Amino acid sequence: MTSPESRLAELGLTLPEAAAPVANYVPFVQSGNLVHVSGQVSKGRDGLIAGRVGTDLTLDEAKAAARVCALNLIAQLKAACGGDLSKVKRIVRLGGYVNADPAFTDIPQVINGASDLMVEVFGEAGRHARSAIGCAVLPLNAAVEVDAVVEVE
């Protein structure tokens, strides 16, 4: 398996700067060999991907927003690992939250945008347990938010 950084380059992806918290929390906490990454919203280089999925955003747009969340998670992981993503042993769990219209039921397909990227970047170590939950609203009216638990060396 090539390094996660090499995989990101092959995919044509550049990690953003790890975002600073916007409230009273820290971006990640390491306990033993597990890193708990706080929820990362769908804020990319072009700004916040906001709105309600099924009303303001399509499934494909929401899936792309979840991918943005995953890039933000990987940026936090890189910070947690002192800049070396090869220290990631396993993506253990993702929690995915979708700002969804009550009639929108394709929540798992939205969060596949994040799950797919973890496998693309970390290979088999990127396969994880997960929750995918529809919400009435998310912070800043973000379309998607994703958090993670990750095993590191």
Q: Where are the domains of the chain?
A: 41-152
Which are the contacts of 76, defined by CB distance < 8 A and separation ≥ 6?
A: 18, 19, 27, 28, 37, 38, 40
Strand partners, 150: 35, 91
> Is residue 23 helix, strand or coil?
coil
Q: Of the candidates 21, 112, 102, which has an alpha carbon nearest to the alpha carbon of residue 66?
A: 112
pLDDT in tens, 100-126: 999 999 999 999 999 999 999 999 999
**Amino acid making up residue 2:** T
Dist. CA 129–CA 115, nearest whole Å: 10
Q: What tens digit of pLDDT does each residue of 27-77 get?
A: 999 999 999 999 999 999 999 999 999 999 999 999 999 999 999 999 999
pLDDT at residue number 22: 85
Q: In 42-128, which ranges are E strands?
A: 43-44, 47-48, 88-99
Distance CA 134, CA 53 (A): 9
Residue-level pLDDT at 1: 63
Query: 136 falls in which pLDDT band (50, 70, 90)?
Result: very high
Q: What is the CA radius of gyration of the chain?
A: 14
Task: Check: pTM over 0.75? Answer yes or no.
Answer: yes
Angle of CA points 30, 66, 25, to nearest 5°:
35
Q: Is the domain 41-152 a CATH 3.40.50.970 member?
A: no
| Residue 149 burial by Cβ neighbours in a 10 Å radius (0-12, 13-18, 19+) | middle
